[in-house]
Amino acid sequence: MPYVNIRITREGATAEQKARLIKGTTDLLQEVLGKNPHTTFVVIDEVDLENWGVGGLPVEAYRREQGR
């Protein structure tokens, strides 16, 4: 009965993409550990860009600094 929490920045992931994340993660746990999909939860959190930091900076500032 795994619980998986996927946290990503909120940048327009579609319902279809999120469904693929749910399906892919659940399949993976079944293949690798034999976990029952019916007791596998996958919860996706989308986090506003100004609330996610890396390199000591909010994500957008970090990307600018990295020239990406």
**Is 37 one of the catalytic residues?**
no
Question: In what helix (H) or strand (E) does residue 24 lie, and over which residues does it extend?
Answer: helix 15-33
- Structure token digits, residue 9: 């920045």
Please report, as ranges, the residues that interact with its own copies according to CB under 8 A: 1-9, 13, 15, 17-29, 31-33, 35, 37-47, 50-59, 61
Catalytic residue among 1, 2, 16, 49: 2
Smallest gap from residue 19 Cβ to its own copies (A): 5
Instruction: Of 2, 33, 5, 36, give the one whose Cα is nearest residue 21.
Output: 5
The catalytic residues are 2
